Amino acid sequence: MTTMPSSIVLFVIIYLCGLQHPLGAMPTCRLQRNLVQSSQKLLADLGPNFPVHCSPYNVNITFPTSILPAATSTHSQCRKVLWVVHETLNGTREVFSEYNVKEGGVNWNLMKLSTFRNLQKRLLDQGQCLSGSHVLDSYFADITALLQHKHSATCGWMALRRDVLWVLRTVLMEYHGCFI
């Protein structure tokens, strides 16, 4: 009787599973589309759009838009897309916990902001398997540099909101199928 060592059997099984789920395909944890949609809506409803008087600060902030993969309808980019969403929300949560919106002179709807932050927490919990990159670190350093000064804090908040909205809108429009 020939018996295969169980380690080989296990290896073959892992290998076959790997073929069906190549690297870069659906990650093991997913984000709920309706939570992302609600977050986007709450953020959009917080207050007026990015004000013109803040445009000079655009030179101080670079959001690396190229981290979102080129739009395709395949699912193979989903891991990267979800990971960008997670990274964006995690960095945003850090900023909200370290800086005060009211002190920054921003007149946002605080009820909506609080609901947004609750959704953000739920999405970060859902996306726990996505953590671990630092591709937005320099972006968030740009934002906090603005928040640290009284004259630029308001514009820092406005820019953060604009950029997070851009990420959420873009992923909902172009990568709809990556969410559950």
Closest CA to 94 of 147, 172, 153, 166: 147
The site for ligand NAG (CB under 6 A) is made up of: 59-60, 90-91, 94, 131-132, 145-146, 149, 152
Residue nearest to ligand NAG (CB): 131
The two structure tokens encoding residue 107? 């007149």
| Token pair for 179 | 């969410």
CB of 103 to ligand NAG, least distance (A): 16
Closest contact distance (angstroms) between CB of 15 and ligand NAG is: 30
Please say which residue, 36 or 123, places its beta carbon nearer to ligand NAG: 123
Q: How far is the CB of 107 from ligand NAG (least distance, A)?
A: 21
- The CA–CA distances, whole Å, from 118 to 20, 96, 139, 169 equal 35, 12, 23, 19
Which one, 40 or 152, has the nearer CB to ligand NAG?
152
- Smaller CB separation from ligand NAG, 32 or 60: 60
End-to-end Cα, the chain, rounded Å: 47
Q: Closest separation between CB of residue 59 and ligand NAG, Å?
A: 5
The tokens 């759009």 sit on which residue?
Answer: 49
The whole-angstrom separation of Cα 77 and Cα 141 is 27
Rank residues 74 and 131 by Cβ distance to ligand NAG and give the closer one: 131
Report the candidate in 37, 59, 32, 61 with the shortest Cα–Cα distance to residue 162: 61
90 near 134, Cβ under 8 Å? no
* In the complex, least distance from residue 177 CB atom to ligand NAG, rounded to whole angstroms: 24
Q: Is the CB of 101 or the CB of 146 nearer to ligand NAG?
A: 146
